[in-house]
Amino acid sequence: MVDVSSTVMDLPRRDARDKLRGRTRYTNDRARPDTLHAVLLRSTVPAGRITRLDVSAALECPGVHAIVTGADAPGLHGIGIADHPLFATDTIRYHGEPIACIAAETEAEAKAALAAIVLDVEPLNPVLTMAEALAPGAPLIHEDWRAYEVLTEGGARDGNIAWEAKSVRGDVDAAFARSDVTIVESSIAVGRQSHVPFEPRVAIGSWENGRAHIETSTQVPWTVRNVTGRVLQLPPGRVRVTVPPVGGGFGLKFDATIEPITALLARMTGRSVILENSRQEEMATCLCRENAEIRIRSAVTAEGEIVGREAVVLMDCGAYGGEQVFLTTMTSHTLGGSYRLGAVRLVSRAVYTNTPPNGAFRACNGVYNSFALERHTDEICAAIGMDPIEFRKRNVLGNGDLGPTGQVFEGDVLGPMLERMDTLRANTGTLEHAADGRLYGRATALGTWFIFVGPSAATINLNADGSATLVTSGVEIGSGTMMQSLPQIVAGQLGLHPDQIVVREADTDAAGLDAGIGGGRTTVSIGAASVGAAAEVREKLLRTAGEMLQTAPKDLVLRDGRVEISGRPGSGAAISTVVAHAQATTGPISGTGSFTAKNTPAMAGCAMGHFIDALDIPVFVVHEAEVAVDPDTGHVDVLAYRVVQDVGRALNPRAIMGQIQGGVVQGLGYALHEEVTITGDGRIAQDGFETYRVPLAQDVVPVVADLYEGAPSMGPLGTKGAGEVPILAVGSAIACAVSNAIGKPVYRLPLTPPRVLRLIHDIEPRPDYPHIAPNWTDNTLR
Amino acid sequence: MTVTLRINGSACRFHGDPMTPLVDVLRRERFLTGTKAVCREGFCGACTVEVDGEAVMSCLRPIGLLDGATVKSIEALAPGDTALHPLQAAFEAADVVQCGMCFPGMVMSLAPFLRENPDAGRNEIKAAMVGNICRCTGYERIVDAVMNFLDSQKMEQANG
Ligand code: FES
Ligand code: FES
């Protein structure tokens, strides 16, 4: 039984005090005096061939204990395809790629020894853009792409196309050929976004009893374990990963990166070794939200029915496939989601370039696909002369409607959420007067994303003092899930107070498999596994109590730390007494639970190369922005921001509000001023706080949010993850509002003042994609 | 070079490169890791400590300039088992902490500012926060908590 009435709401965070006192020890606070310091030799060209690498002189430098290179770690890892070595060996594929790593007594000694490494590189012509990568006869970034091990079947691949996913439903050609439709086409471009977590990627490796032990700032302990096993060619069971509190992730730490290097160095030296990216390295090799190029076309009737839609999305994965391979899947669900569509075909290609690899960033490609979709939607409205909110209300997916892959959506959610936005706006009022002579714009945008489900495991041990220990592979990355939702959920199930639930930090030796912390999955997946574990504990507890109290277990309830006879408060026995009895008679009480995706069906043959064919738990948002644009400077001032967010059920409304404020502000940075550009020699130009401008206190406004509860969810107590999606529709809401303010279409983010000025004066070049064929089918591989 | 200074009440002698930034002395020599080195360029404020009563960014302060100075880091604000500083308590009460890495610096720079500006309004607080970046929270709720803190300080004073 899953009952929310016994769940404590708005639980304070148990980690806040230590964090405020500066006592929390993040991974990069854990170097001890005897820890060796490691420093990477990184490539200074974007493409090249290594003709000589000699570390013997560096090994003789003062303080140096060991040096590792690609020869020490021959295995390849990746998502979908194993294309990624730990170190560049023969071929250099991006500027900043690790080539060797030195461990020395101090960081200064390790750095000094870098100069003694002999490295000869024959530079090659780099392929820096997707247009270049897709040009006929382009150099292959992975010459051996055919030989790579395929880890997930189904994706089409070819040369510089690391992965292609597509979905096709209905007869799109027939829809576009209809005589009663208007055809609207939009081309959209976005650059990268850098996460800038306050704690960079950092790991401490040790070698203990013949096994690697890696302490690391990660969102994915099991991925680190498995990747380390692969690249070191060890059984993954010989790798243990533990995770201290993480100083921010936002998706950047959803991949294994430098961790295996520390294990290698620890094995060689017998010492603990810390490897921490400097801020410059962190930003120069950030696994950014990828840059992308999108062309989308729709055939729409005068009444506003979308009878056909097609799109091509090119995603730059950088030098290695990584998350973009997986994320090709999400193009269908985001660009093809939200609205009812007649026929639809979408293709998404992850394209290799000689640039730093990209990765996952909060709501990933959902953010720019929503931007493309919502700007396109407003262009449709302009073309057919319909009010944009009215158009959305008519066309959003409702109960029983088909998604792009033929999934049947449950429940009317987006429609009522749009109504709730009307109410919210009526309550807050609008701020047109605050524009004060500047150009005013307002826009409402919506978006669909998903809860990334996948496997989780949980164990609960009930202790003789009435407390319970929850053991999972969950990690506290800052969102508070491990500190709030999980103890709340478990306590609610066991009649305990959340303070009595001890939550164990992730340790792959202690807890079962987990897909990681991200994609809004923690509350849902680890929460569901924890509910399963609690059910077993409860059953054992009631059985023992039943014997003690001579009462049938079905007549017993768990409440306030007691096993009571139902309807008789204060009766029965304290849980601690029952646990002590069990320990003496049948043995300690523990339980396990597990969870994984339910694999919601899609229509056969609709989705090709997809990692997930349908969304088990879709999540929806409606955002609204009001902006004032200074026509002389192009500066965009956000006047007000409103959110209606589908949360399933809110266990911690206060914490969700905190996630919404934080996520929207990251989105404002993306929409307005966080800009990553690639230099002519393949570097990320913005590699520090001076050049990469994240939002400051004076840039932001209080976000007003309404939490929409009650949409269907398979999460425990009806929850959905709430931390991932607040960023989803910010780019779109701001872009649509700015477009309304200046009366010109917006095709690119971020909307920096110079770009806005160029838009106002009609001198901002429109995205032009000669490498995207006019005929959709010519953009697909088979 | 040898530098003698007081850190969190104890005398401390540093031998080494006078250009070593204070943040590294705190973190690497004294294991006072509450002071965070996030950007090392004076942009983020996570490394803020008090030097002779003034909030400074410890990543920009070479130890060689601190002979005879008195340094107070976040660990000394509410040491041991003592109650949180009321500003820390306000942050805890409002549930504003997320990853937490910016907060030691946020507290160390706002505490002296608010001591000197007890009547600060929202805009002044935001202006005072320009040197403290937070990537997680989106700021507004931090400002709310600071306003709560100032209100309760005023109430306390009024109640004498
Ligand atoms: S580390 Fe000193 S200001 Fe950022
Ligand atoms: S709470 Fe993470 S940087 Fe502020």
**A240 and A507 Cβ atoms separated by less than 8 Å:** yes
Query: Which residue in chain B has the smallest CA separation from A477?
Result: B99
- The candidate with the shortest Cα–Cα distance to A538, out of A572, A575, A484, A583, is A575
Q: Which of B76, B99, B116 is the last residue of a domain?
A: B76
Q: Which of B25, B50, B76 is the last residue of a domain?
A: B76
Residue A70 vs residues A41, A83, A98, A232, B55: alpha-carbon distances, Å:
12, 14, 9, 10, 46
**A284 and A356 Cβ atoms separated by less than 8 Å:** yes
Q: Considering only CA atoms, which residue is closest to atom 3 of ligand 1?
A: B42
**A203 and A500 Cβ atoms separated by less than 8 Å:** no
Q: Is residue B145 part of a domain?
A: yes
- Decide yes or no: CATH 3.30.365.10 for domain A4-23+454-595: yes
- The candidate with the shortest Cα–Cα distance to A480, out of A468, A488, A492, A469, is A488
> In DSSP terms, which residues pair with B24 in a beta bridge?
none
A206-249 per-position pLDDT tens digit: 999 999 999 999 999 999 999 999 999 999 999 999 999 999 99
Distance in angstroms (rounded) separating the CA atoms of residues A695 and A662? 10
Q: Is residue B52 part of a domain?
A: yes
CATH number at residue B152: 1.10.150.120
Q: How far is the CA of A479 from the centre of ligand 2 (A)?
A: 10
Query: Which residue in chain A has the smallest CA separation from B48?
Result: A22
What is the distance in angstroms between the Cα of B23 and the nearest Cα belonging to chain A? 12
Nearest to B103 among A19, A31, A245 (CB): A19
Tokens 């030691």 belong to B104
| B106 in A contact zone (CB under 8 Å) | no
B92 and B71 both lie in a single domain: no
B45 and B19 both lie in a single domain: yes
**A621 and A642 Cβ atoms separated by less than 8 Å:** no
Distance in angstroms (rounded) separating the CA atoms of residues A444 and A375? 11
A613-671 per-position pLDDT tens digit: 999 999 999 999 999 999 999 999 999 999 999 999 999 999 999 999 999 999 999 99
What is the distance in angstroms between the Cα of B153 and the nearest Cα belonging to chain A? 19
Whether B45 lines ligand 1, by a CB cut-off of 6 Å, is yes
**Coil/strand/helix, residue A426:** helix
Alpha helices, H only, chain B: 22-24, 86-93, 103-116, 122-128, 140-158
Rounded (10°) CA dihedral A221, A226, A228, A231: -150
| A721 in B contact zone (CB under 8 Å) | no
| B105 in A contact zone (CB under 8 Å) | no
Given this model, what pLDDT does residue B7 score? 98
Residue A411 DSSP symbol: S
Q: What is the pLDDT along chain B (160 residues), one digit of tens a residue?
A: 899 999 999 999 999 999 999 999 999 999 999 999 999 999 999 999 999 999 999 999 999 999 999 999 999 999 999 999 999 999 999 999 999 999 999 999 999 999 999 999 999 999 999 999 999 999 999 999 999 999 999 998 888 6
Q: Which residues of B touch A663 (CB under 8 A)?
A: 138
**Contact assignment for B34 to A22 by CB distance below 8 Å:** yes
Angle at which helices A364-384 and A388-395 cross, to 10°: 110
Burial of B31 from C-beta contacts in 10 A (0-12 / 13-18 / 19+): middle
Fold of domain A292-452+602-760? Aldehyde Oxidoreductase; domain 4 (3.30.365)
B68 and B6 both lie in a single domain: yes
Query: Which residue in chain B has the smallest CA separation from A659?
Result: B137
Given this model, what pLDDT does residue A2 score? 47
Strand A556-559 versus strand A562-565 pairing type: antiparallel
What is the distance in angstroms between the Cα of A729 and the nearest Cα belonging to chain B? 16
Q: Considering only CA atoms, which residue is closest to atom 3 of ligand 2?
A: B134
Q: Which residues of B touch A658 (CB under 8 A)?
A: 95-96, 98, 137, 141
Residues of chain A with pLDDT > 90, as a percent, come to 94
**Contact assignment for A22 to B104 by CB distance below 8 Å:** yes
**Model confidence at A3, in pLDDT bands (50, 70, 90)?**
low
Cα torsion A386, A347, A353, A82: sign: positive
Domain hosting B61: range is: 2-76
Residue A105 vs residues A25, A34, A108, B13: alpha-carbon distances, Å:
22, 8, 9, 22
**Coil/strand/helix, residue A94:** coil
Q: Considering chain B, what is the average pLDDT of its residues?
A: 96
- The candidate with the shortest Cα–Cα distance to A483, out of A655, A666, A362, is A655
Residue A28 DSSP symbol: G
Residue A507 DSSP symbol: B
| A702 in B contact zone (CB under 8 Å) | yes
Given this model, what pLDDT does residue A519 score? 80
**A181 and A195 Cβ atoms separated by less than 8 Å:** no
Q: Considering only CA atoms, which residue is closest to atom 2 of ligand 2?
A: B99
Q: Is residue B111 part of a domain?
A: yes
ipTM of the complex: 0.98
Provide the b/e sequence for A380-391 (b: ≥16 CB within 10 Å).
bbeebebebbeb
Tokens 């770690």 belong to A73
Tell whether the model's pLDDT for residue A4 goes beyond 80. no
Q: Is residue B142 part of a domain?
A: yes
B10 and B71 both lie in a single domain: yes
Residue A702 DSSP symbol: P
E strands, A154-227, are 156-158, 161-169, 181-190, 202-208, 211-216
Q: Give B128's contacts (C-beta < 8 A, 6+ positions apart).
A: B109, B110, B113, B117, B120
- Decide yes or no: CATH 3.90.1170.50 for domain A31-124+201-276: yes
Q: Where on the phi/psi map is residue A421: left (φ > 0), alpha (ψ -120 to 50), or beta?
A: alpha
B102 and B68 both lie in a single domain: no
Given this model, what pLDDT does residue B160 score? 67
User: What's the start-to-end Cα distance of chain B, in Å?
Assistant: 50
Cα torsion A782, A780, A600, A482: sign: positive
Given this model, what pLDDT does residue A5 score? 64
Distance in angstroms (rounded) separating the CA atoms of residues A311 and A332? 9
Provide the b/e sequence for A601-640 (b: ≥16 CB within 10 Å).
ebbeebbbbbbbbbbbbbbbbbbbbbbbbbeeebbbbbbb
Tell whether the model's pLDDT for residue A1 goes beyond 50. no
Q: Where on the phi/psi map is residue A200: left (φ > 0), alpha (ψ -120 to 50), or beta?
A: beta
Give mean pLDDT, residues A677-693: 97
CATH number at residue B31: 3.10.20.30
Amino acid at A514: D
Residue A525 DSSP symbol: I
Q: How many domains does chain B contain in total?
A: 2
Two tokens, residue B154:
């005023």
Amino acid at A232: L
Q: Give A54's contacts (C-beta < 8 A, 6+ positions apart).
A: A117, A118, A119
Phi and psi dihedrals of B113, rounded to 5? Answer: -60, -45
Given this model, what pLDDT does residue A11 score? 86
Q: Is residue B26 part of a domain?
A: yes
Nearest to A689 among B39, B88, B93 (CB): B39
**A666 and A606 Cβ atoms separated by less than 8 Å:** no
Distance in angstroms (rounded) separating the CA atoms of residues B65 and B49? 15
**Contact assignment for A20 to B100 by CB distance below 8 Å:** yes
**Contact assignment for B95 to A703 by CB distance below 8 Å:** no
pTM over 0.95: yes
Strand A343-352 versus strand A439-450 pairing type: unpaired
| A763 in B contact zone (CB under 8 Å) | no
Q: Considering chain A, what is the average pLDDT of its residues?
A: 96
Tell whether the model's pLDDT for residue A9 goes beyond 80. no
A160-209 per-position pLDDT tens digit: 999 999 999 999 999 999 999 999 999 999 999 999 999 999 999 999 99
**A598 and A582 Cβ atoms separated by less than 8 Å:** no
- What is the CB neighbour count within 10 angstroms for residue B110? 26
Angle at which helices B140-158 and B103-116 cross, to 10°: 40
Alpha helices, H only, A86-188: 107-114, 130-134, 172-177
Distance in angstroms (rounded) separating the CA atoms of residues A472 and A530? 8
* Substitution target from B29, B31, B74, B95 for chain A, most A beta carbons within 10 A: B95
B50 and B112 both lie in a single domain: no
What is the distance in angstroms between the Cα of B158 and the nearest Cα belonging to chain A? 28
Tell whether the model's pLDDT for residue A6 goes beyond 90. no
Phi and psi dihedrals of A423, rounded to 5? Answer: -65, -45
A356-403 per-position pLDDT tens digit: 999 999 999 999 999 999 999 999 999 999 999 999 999 999 999 999
A415-472 per-position pLDDT tens digit: 999 999 999 999 999 999 999 999 999 999 999 999 988 899 999 999 999 999 999 9
Each domain of chain A, given as residue ranges in start order, spans 4-23+454-595, 31-124+201-276, 292-452+602-760
Q: Which of B53, B76, B99 is the last residue of a domain?
A: B76
**Coil/strand/helix, residue B24:** helix
A318-365 per-position pLDDT tens digit: 999 999 999 999 999 999 999 999 999 999 999 999 999 999 999 999
Tell whether the model's pLDDT for residue A683 goes beyond 90. yes
B17 and B65 both lie in a single domain: yes
Q: Is residue B81 part of a domain?
A: no
B92 and B72 both lie in a single domain: no
Given this model, what pLDDT does residue A10 score? 81
Whether B57 lines ligand 1, by a CB cut-off of 6 Å, is yes
Distance in angstroms (rounded) separating the CA atoms of residues A461 and A446? 43
Distance in angstroms (rounded) separating the CA atoms of residues A403 and A68? 49
- The candidate with the shortest Cα–Cα distance to A662, out of B109, B136, B10, B11, is B136
Asked if domains A31-124+201-276 and A292-452+602-760 share a fold, the reply is no
Q: Give A483's contacts (C-beta < 8 A, 6+ positions apart).
A: A11, A13, A14, A15, A476, A503
Q: How far is the CA of A21 from the centre of ligand 2 (A)?
A: 14
Instruction: Determine the distance from the C-alpha atom of residue B43 to the mean position of all C-alpha atoms in its chain, rounded to a whole number.
Output: 14
Q: How far is the CA of A753 from the centre of ligand 2 (A)?
A: 27
Given this model, what pLDDT does residue A604 score? 85
**Contact assignment for B95 to A250 by CB distance below 8 Å:** no
Two tokens, residue A422:
């009307």
B108 and B151 both lie in a single domain: yes
**A447 and A637 Cβ atoms separated by less than 8 Å:** no
**Model confidence at A605, in pLDDT bands (50, 70, 90)?**
confident
Residue A176 vs residues A181, A257, A394, B26, B70: alpha-carbon distances, Å:
7, 45, 21, 67, 75
**Model confidence at A313, in pLDDT bands (50, 70, 90)?**
very high
B108 and B127 both lie in a single domain: yes
Rounded (10°) CA dihedral B2, B5, B8, B11: 80
Query: Which residue in chain A has the smallest CA separation from B38?
Result: A198
Given the CA of residue B48, which atom of ligand 1 is nearest to it?
2
| A279 in B contact zone (CB under 8 Å) | yes
Alpha helices, H only, A570-652: 575-585
A525-553 per-position pLDDT tens digit: 999 999 999 999 999 999 999 999 999 99
Cα torsion A340, A422, A623, A299: sign: positive
